[in-house]
Structure formats: structure tokens, C-alpha cells
Amino acid sequence: MTYSFEETEELSLLRETVRAFARKEIAPLAHQLDKEECFSADLTRKMGALGLFGTIVSPEYGGQGMDYLSYIVAVEELARVDASQAATIAAHNSLGAGPLYYYGNETQKQTYLPDLCHGEGLWAFGLTEPDAGSDAQASKTMATYDKTKDEWVIRGSKLWITNSASELTRGITVQAVTGADDKGRPELSCFLVQTPAAGLTQQVMKDKMMWRASNTGELVFEDVRVPSSAMLGKRGQGFKIMMETLDNGRLSIAAMGLGLAKGALDMALEYAGQRKTFGQAIGKHQAIGFKLAEMATRTEAAENLLYKACCLRQEQKPYQKYAAMAKLYCSEVAEYCAREGQQIFGGYGLMKEFPIERFYRDAALLRIGEGTSEIQRMVISRYLGC
């Protein structure tokens, strides 16, 4: 494995570019957008203009053709400033453009990807349902084939779908039951549903504790018709497509955790150098110095685990176990750093005016979304042969 501890010049430049953008364009708006629970299409378009849509898609479809580690570093730098914007980009690239790029036929790729790579539109991943979260095979959304029109008719609902109900949403990849397989289990297939669509209601989900400036939708399909050419991959291949997409998605959620941990550490370090108690900067007190040391050590370990998983992915080696480990560990480190950072800020850390308060809330999703920590442990234990 050619894992290097030195960043290439190209990767450092990308990191600096995204960091500068996040500090200049996102940081001044993050508090207000969080307070108003507002998804910003303007800011999303700006991230598109920076090249953060279609990062891993090859240039022939309008993408940037980045390697996986570069994409992950871009997500990390966004999350260092604001989890909501990082979530928009992570969900769009890994879960939106990703399945289209990896499983779409030539026509599907030529039709959808250019817009999704140029920052003109978002694509969402419709897996989770009111009664199918961790048990992702329990989908109740049905797709019935109408032979007379050569169309599929979709009926059901999806919940907590990132980027699915915004003014920039162009479509959703939807998992639905299309019959039963030879063992009598539900046969699951994926469909590309362009939005808006007759019979589809897209409702923004409000009153979230975290990621308040990201777009989260509830979707109701009431006999939504799509042509048979809208099937992604083969009939019955839907669950495999969804699961492989989540293997990739875990890397970007891990990147969000790593970025959030680094952001909390940045803030806590700065504050610990300024705030004085008992005649000196609080960072000079062992109680605070040890907290910062622990945060830095765990962040370093999280980075190494995540980057190793990315390098394996890049080299087309088995990476799935490491992706689950990275998702699990980076989420836990993010929550740890946000909590310890908040503790260092004392009473100020409880005030919304201080970004560490938002980081504390935003970290909570990481252990629940895109597969809970318990699911990651289940996946890892299966790889261990348990």
C-alpha cells in the first residue's frame, strides 16, 4: 500500500482552497443559517462553482475526476467550519452523483451527470423509510410494472432524505420493492425519479436539532410513473447498489466527523490561549492542556484510519471494513471533541453565539445518520467473522 504521511502539493492546494472558501464564504453565514434553519441555494451554487459537485466523476461527464482522498479532504475542510454545508456536498457526491456514475448506463450518465457536476442541481438517495432505517431491506415502497405503458408506478414514502426537497433538487434514486426473489424475499430495485414529478410530494423536514442549514426531505410517492428506462442497474440489484453506495458514503460521513473534530480543536485551542483564570491562560492549566492533548491524539488517530480507508478504496482494494471503522471512530471522536471543546469554553460554550455550541449539536447526527454506530459495529463484526 502506498499510504504516505506527506500530502502531495496538489492535495495541500485543494485543502487550502476549500479552507479559504469555507472561512470566507461559509463561516460568516453559518450561525444565521443555523438559527433560521435555512438551506442556502446561493451558497450551494457557490460550492458548485468551486468544483465541489461531481468531485469523483470523470471529466467526460463534467466532473472533476478527483481521487477519493481529495474528495474526502474537501468534505473535511467544509465540516471544519460548518457541518450543514459539508452534508450537502457529501450527500450529493457520495449518495447522489455516486450511484448514477457507478451504476448508470451511458444514456443515464450523459443525461443527468453534467448538470449535477456543474452545481446546477442536487440528486438525492431515497433509501430510508418510516419503518425501514437500520433494517434497510424492510422497504415498503412498491414499484409495479405497467406493461401497457412500459412504465413503473411507484407508491410509498421516504424519510430523512438529504437534498431531496430543495429548489436545487433535480431527482432522487429510489429503492422500491419490485416483486419477490427466488427465496421469497422482497426483490429490491432502484429507480431514477426526476423532480418535480406528478404524484410526488417533497416536504422539507423542519425543527431539526442539527445540520439545520442542510435540506432534509420527506417524500410521498402516490403512483409516480417513471419509464422502464429509469431503472438504475438491473431489476433486483437495488439493495446491492444501495449497500455499495453506503460503503462509499461512510467515508464522507467519517470525513465530516474528522473535520468537525478538527474544527472543535481549532476553536478550543484558540480560546485556551486567550482566556485567563488564576493568572494565566487556561491552556496552561494541566486540566485543560490534557483535554487538548486527548482531543489532538484522537483526531490524529481518526485521520489515519480514514485516510487509510480512502487509500485502499483508491487502489481498488477491499476497504469496506475500514470505511465502517472510520465512520464509527470519526463520529465518536467528533462528539468527544465537540463536548470537550464546549467544556473548555465553559458558559460561553452553551451560547449559540459561539460556534462550538453548533458543533456540539451537529456531532450528534454522525453516530445516527448513514448507518448508526451500532450498524457499523455489526458490519465490522461480520468482517471479523462473528
Least distance to ligand COS, CB of residue 371, Å: 3
Q: Which of 26, 188, 363, 379 binds ligand COS (CB under 6 A)?
A: 379
Angle at Cα 246 formed by Cα 366 and Cα 377, nearest 5°? 60
3-state SS class at 26? helix
Q: Which is nearer to ligand COS, 105 or 134 (CB)?
A: 134
Query: Backbone dihedral region of 128: left (phi > 0), alpha (psi from -120 to 50 degrees) or beta?
Result: beta
Q: Which of 77, 247, 303, 332 binds ligand COS (CB under 6 A)?
A: 247
Q: Which of 82, 129, 335, 370 binds ligand COS (CB under 6 A)?
A: 370
Q: Which is nearer to ligand COS, 42 or 182 (CB)?
A: 182
3-state SS class at 124? strand
Residues 319-348 that bind ligand COS (CB under 6 A): 320
Residue 371 contacts ligand COS per CB under 6 A: yes
Q: Which of 244, 296, 308, 314 binds ligand COS (CB under 6 A)?
A: 244
Residue 354 contacts ligand COS per CB under 6 A: no
CA 198, distance to chain mean position in Å, is 28
Detail the DSSP E strand segments found in 77-147. 122-126, 142-146
Residues 154-183 that bind ligand COS (CB under 6 A): none
Residue 167 a catalytic site member: no
Catalytic position from the list 76, 187, 370, 374: 370
Residue 311 contacts ligand COS per CB under 6 A: no
| Contacts for 364 with CB less than 8 Å, ≥ 6 apart | 209, 210, 335
Question: Is 377 within 8 Å of 327 (Cβ atoms)?
Answer: no
Q: Which is nearer to ligand COS, 64 or 175 (CB)?
A: 175
Which residue in this structure is represented by grid cell 433535480?
Answer: 170
Q: How many residues interact with ligand COS (rule CB under 6 A)?
A: 22
Q: How far apart are the first and last CA of the chain?
A: 27
Which cell is 351 given? Answer: 451560547
Residues 129-148 that bind ligand COS (CB under 6 A): 133-137
Residue 125 contacts ligand COS per CB under 6 A: yes
Q: What does 218-240 look like in DSSP terms, one character per residue?
A: EEEEEEEEEEGGGEESSTT-HHH
Least distance to ligand COS, CB of residue 7, Å: 29
Q: Which is nearer to ligand COS, 129 or 303 (CB)?
A: 129
Least distance to ligand COS, CB of residue 25, Å: 26
3-state SS class at 57? coil
Residues in the chain: 386
Which cell is 248 given? Answer: 462509499
Which residues are annotated as catalytic? Answer: 370
Question: Which spans of this chain sit near ligand COS (rule: CB under 6 A)?
Answer: 95, 125, 127-128, 133-137, 239-240, 243-244, 246-247, 320, 369-371, 375, 378-379
